[in-house]
Amino acid sequence: MNGLLIKGVGGLYTVYCQGQRYLVKARGKFRKDSQKPVIGDRVTFFPAQGGEDFGAITEIAPRKNQLIRPAVANIDLLMTVFAAASPQPDLLLIDKLLLSARLAQIPAMVVVNKCDLSDGEALADQYRKSGYDALCVSAHTGQGLDALRARLAGKIVAYAGQSAVGKSSLLNAVAGLNLETGAVSRIERGRHTTRHVELLALSGDTWVADTPGFSLLDAQPMDPQRLKEFYPEMRPYEKDCRFLSCNHIGEPVCGVKEAARAGLIAPQRLERYGLLFDELKEKWSRRYD
Ligand SMILES: Nc1nc2c(ncn2[C@@H]2O[C@H](COP(=O)(O)OP(=O)(O)OP(=O)(O)O)[C@@H](O)[C@H]2O)c(=O)[nH]1
Ligand SMILES: [Mg+2]
Ligand SMILES: [Zn+2]
């Protein structure tokens, strides 16, 4: 049988297959191959037979992507969440999360929550210009939640974003979950040491990795020269740069900077690109330390 690994605690795993949950263990060969099963794995298994307590995993399908800490595989969609207001948006964090997702080959989208407090369209547009799907929503009024539900349907979803932007509130509103929200979850998160990761059923075949995905930030050092590849909105204007290798940060005669000045690309996003460039440059120069 084939199923989805949704939970693992101390070597005992739960596999979901056609509405049923099966308790299974991994066979010894996986430990030998140092190929431990990971939540989100598509596995071949057989259920417990006559008198046995547990079934067994016999095969793990190749992973299309994987988060390391905590380990989750085969994520179909990363929701990067920020609030239009309260807390003030940390868009540099969002840019970093989107970049890390690209590097990890995880499709990502942008969710602007709390649009009942402030209009998030201009912020969402910064990302739409960059080719991202961006939705303005409110967990409180329900604005945009049908569209969000449609984006998530049938997928394994992970989420990320600074504290208090409403990640738990959104999951609760979208799927009728009962995750802790507000101050309580923030206090507890500091003390909580996660012993296991779990995929929660949002509905039917939609799953959410119950972790805010911050491990994404520990990405490998990257050559800053490559950063512009991740900003497709710059491409049409690069032909107007004097230098073929222009990084659009301080070079004279830069078509991209011109385009930002003319409002053709979001100047704020270009500014954050510069910050990210400097940060990557610093990390890159220390990569052999
Ligand atoms: N006005 C408004 N407030 C919201 C909205 N969504 C969430 N909130 C409030 O924002 C606060 C934080 O929400 P949470 O869902 O706990 O935020 P979180 O992102 O899960 O926070 P952490 O678990 O700390 O990372 C709560 O007081 C929510 O009631 C919204 O759409 N509009
Ligand atoms: Mg939360
Ligand atoms: Zn340039």
CA of 129 to the centre of ligand 3 (A): 18
Q: CA 29, 105, 153 angle in degrees (round to 5)?
A: 90
The Cα–Cα gap between 108 and 99 comes to 9
CA of 181 to the centre of ligand 1 (A): 6
Pocket, ligand 1, Cβ cutoff 6 A: 113-114, 116-117, 138-140, 163-169, 181-182, 185-186, 212
Per-residue model confidence as pLDDT tens for the chain (289 residues): 999 999 998 889 999 999 999 999 988 777 666 688 999 999 999 999 988 999 999 999 999 998 877 789 999 999 999 999 999 999 999 999 999 899 889 999 999 999 999 999 999 999 999 999 999 999 999 999 999 999 999 999 999 999 899 999 999 999 888 888 875 444 444 444 445 678 999 988 899 987 776 666 666 789 999 999 999 999 999 999 999 999 999 999 999 999 999 999 999 999 999 999 999 999 999 989 8
Nearest CA to ligand 1 atom 25: 163
Report pLDDT for 211: 77
CA of 152 to the centre of ligand 2 (A): 18
What are the beta bridge partners of residue 129? none
* Ligand 2 center to 53 CA (angstroms): 35
Taking the centre of ligand 2 as the mean of its atom positions, its distance from the CA of residue 38, in whole angstroms, is 23
Give whole-number Cα distances, 249 to 49, 260, 271, in Å: 64, 12, 9
Instruction: Give residue 249's pLDDT.
Output: 95
Closest atom of ligand 1 to CA, residue 185: 23
Taking ligand 3, which is a single-atom ion, which protein residues have CB atoms under 5 Å away?
241, 246, 248, 254, 256
Please give the CATH number for the structural domain made up of 224-285.
1.10.40.50
Longest Cα–Cα distance of the chain, Å, equals 76
| Cα–Cα distance for residue pair 54/56, rounded to 1 Å | 7
CATH superfamily placement of domain 2-62: Nucleic acid-binding proteins (2.40.50.140)
Contacts of 283 (CB under 8 A, 6+ apart): 221, 222
In angstroms, the CA 289 to CA 272 distance is 26
- Helices and strands, number each (H, E), in the chain: 8, 13
Pair type for strands 2-9 and 12-17: antiparallel
Residue having the nearest C-alpha atom to atom 32 of ligand 1: 114
Cis status, amide bond into 224, omega within 30 of 0? no
Strand partners, 77: 157
Q: What is the pLDDT of residue 184?
A: 44
CATH class of the domain comprising 72-217:
alpha beta
| pLDDT at position 147 | 98
Question: Closest residue (by CA) to atom 22 of ligand 1?
Answer: 163
Token digits for 39? 């939540």
Q: Is 229 helix (H, G, I), strand (E, B) or coil?
A: helix
Per-residue model confidence (pLDDT) at position 235? 96
Using only C-alpha atoms, the chain has a radius of gyration, in whole angstroms, of 21
Distance between CA atoms of residues 283 and 159, nearest Å: 25
* pLDDT value for 183: 55
CA 41 centroid distance within chain: 17
**Domain spans, the chain:** 2-62, 72-217, 224-285
pLDDT reported for residue 254: 98
Calpha distance 233→130 (Å, rounded): 5
* Ligand 1 atom closest to the CA of 113, numbered from 1: 31
